[in-house]
Amino acid sequence: MFEILKSFETKYGYLKKKGLTIEGLAIIDIKKKKHVIKISRPLIFDNRLIPKRFEGLDVKTNIKLNADMPIEFSVDRTLPDWHKTQYIWAPERFEKYVTRCEKEIKAELNGPLMTKMEVLDAICFGNFEEHKQKSLQLVKEGKLPAYRAN
């Protein structure tokens, strides 16, 4: 298993210069002994460069939260159970952020000719439409709170 991680680091280690952190292997399901490669990345990062799976393991990506997150992603994390009333990664937040800062995001991604959809795909887990559909389904099932503007 460590060979897979080393192979991943060899192939994708160059992305560390862009803010990627390879955290290592993790178990996400003890009963099924399901392992993943855990990574984290900044909000503005071309997620299309990272595979969803690598040599049989899922790649679990987290976005690094920090104090200077864009206003579209601001949630009051001091409230108890804030995650039950606010979904920080709601598709609407990504859309509003890209609408407001598209030019700056393109510059940071070094992609001045990117379309708005390509920018959304890049920063939103690699496939914006897929994330949007999955989020809408989870809202319908009551597993995520519906988006509401702050």
Please give the average per-residue pLDDT across 31-39, as a whole number: 88
The SS3 assignment for 44 reads coil
* 49 pLDDT higher than 90: yes
* 41 pLDDT higher than 90: yes
Is-contact 101 94, C-beta < 8 A? Answer: no
Contacts of residue 132, Cβ cutoff 8 Å, sequence gap at least 6:
91
Alpha helices (H) along 30-127 = 82-85, 91-109, 116-123
What is the tens place of the pLDDT at every residue in 52-85?
Answer: 999 999 999 999 887 788 999 988 777 777 777 8
pLDDT at residue 80, as a whole number: 77
What is the tens place of the pLDDT at every residue in 10-28?
Answer: 999 999 999 999 999 998 8
Structure tokens at 94: 């990504």
pLDDT at residue 150, as a whole number: 60
What is the tens place of the pLDDT at every residue in 95-118?
Answer: 999 999 999 999 999 999 999 999
pLDDT at residue 149, as a whole number: 75
pTM above the 0.85 mark? yes
Residue 8 amino acid letter: F
